[in-house]
Amino acid sequence: MKKLEPQQQDDYATALLKNEQLFYTLLQQVRPDLYVLVDMIDKNKIDMFIIFKILRQLLVVANGNGWGKVVVNIQNNKVTYVEGVDTDRVNTDIFTANT
């Protein structure tokens, strides 16, 4: 791959920055909900892979019977696992009434 001259590198970096600004402006106008998420992820430098895994487990629960939980286990500032648990809602007493 051909190496860029310093001026070309500056031009490329400037173009990249302008494109990114245009993208964020467009995203903010078209999908403000996604803009807030992307802005939060970028400002806090959150690994998008983790967000992807959480969303995937939310879908596991949603595509099951719609009851359950998503657990994110964190140890020493590292996500060790993301678990989606689809559960059955029972809401029934353990013991039956003597009739």
pTM of the full predicted structure? 0.69
Question: For residue 39, how many C-alpha atoms fall within 13 Å in the half-sphere facing its CB?
Answer: 12
87/72 Cα distance (integer angstroms): 17
HEC letters along 39-60: HHHHHHCCCHHHHHHHHHHHHH
**pLDDT values of the chain reduced to their tens digit, one per residue, 99 residues:** 667 676 777 788 899 999 999 999 999 999 999 999 999 999 999 999 999 999 999 999 999 888 899 999 999 999 999 999 988 888 888 888 775
Q: Which residues pair with 85 in a beta bridge?
A: 69
**Contact, 46 vs 60, CB < 8 A?**
no
